Structure 1
């Protein structure tokens, strides 16, 4: 049975929290999701369901970003989780594709992620694109994806992670 992807509902919060605990082994990611919701920063939040159970979750939140002095509409992908036992079945990829479609629909110009450098590039994320963005993060795991061609082509930019991230 294939997973169905759709919008997260308030009633899903408990199941999403349990999923993030199972996938990440702690409370940090649960807290980030709850704080992003509470601060009104969620732009896209989707779940993957199978047999009535939530087995996947992705959240994109507004991320204050400036490129060459211009404020741009960027999103942070933070985070994506798939229930252990359902991983490596394409559920995460389906969540990312659906979330990126919705990100375009809400007018986002770029998406930023801190993630596995061997996973996210298959969706177009690139450490090189994030290279001109001052951030608490750097290196191969700090990646960006342009939803609008040239959105990150400037010389110097920065991202300011909201307090919800606890940085």
Structure 2
């Protein structure tokens, strides 16, 4: 975070309209706003963080982490998907997205999440330790170089034959 006037904290009911407006402004088709809404309605949202002005001002950034069904060696592993992350146009390239993602990963690690997956630009997500090699050999409709994973508990990948990495149902509704 680059400004002391911005705070990162878990989203609450007072942030719903601001998150929706931010997502619809950053992603004009509305798919990401609909994704977040469906994840919440379906009960699959694990963590949503917002970056907002400390004085109770507008939401300028957000990141969401949702439940995934992941197996390693035929055993379930606690895992989440990172998506979406968004920052208002006037606040980009100031470290807001990076601070949101890192705060989320830190919190999820403390809460015992083992793996975090992301579907995105490798050049961006490598800075956090995400890599396609960690996601390889998981059966997923998103498999490929843009599906990456990050082992959270000390950086160790769970042992065993990788199985399936299934995103929450809301992802299948994306256009």
Q: How far apart are the structure 2 equivalents of 1:100 and 1:60?
A: 9
Q: Which residue of 2 aligns with 1:33?
A: 36
Deviations 1:20-77 (A, max 9, x none): 1111222110111011111111111100012611100011111010112010000000
Secondary structure of 2:156's aligned partner: coil
- TM superposition score normalised by structure 2: 0.90
Contact 1:16 1:54 in 2 (8 A): yes
Number of residue pairs matched by the alignment: 167
1:5 corresponds to: 8
CA distance in 2, matches of 1:162, 1:119: 23
Give the TM-score taking structure 1 as reference length.
0.94
- Aligned residue in 2 for 1:48: 51
Name which of 119, 124, 127 aligns with 1:119: 124
| Partner residue of 1:102 out of 104, 107, 113 | 107
Task: State the shift of 1:133 in Å.
Answer: 1.0
Secondary structure at the counterpart of residue 81 of structure 2: strand
Q: Does 1:131 align with 2:136?
A: yes
Q: Matched residue of 1:138: which SS?
A: coil
Partner of 1:144: 149
**Which residue of structure 2 aligns with residue 154 of structure 1?**
160
- Counterpart mapping for 1:67-86 below 5 A: 67-86=72-91
Say if 1:43 and 1:106, in contact at 8 Å, map to a contact too: no
1:32/1:166 contact within 8 Å kept: no
1:23 corresponds in structure 2 to 26
Cα distance in 2 between the residues matched to 1:24 and 1:153:
38
Contact 1:23 1:84 in 2 (8 A): yes
Q: Separation in 2 of the partners of 1:13 and 1:26?
A: 18
CA contact (8 A) 1:110 1:146 kept: yes
Summarize deviations over 1:79-126 as a string: whole Å, max 9, x none.
Answer: 111111211110000001100011112210010000111100000000
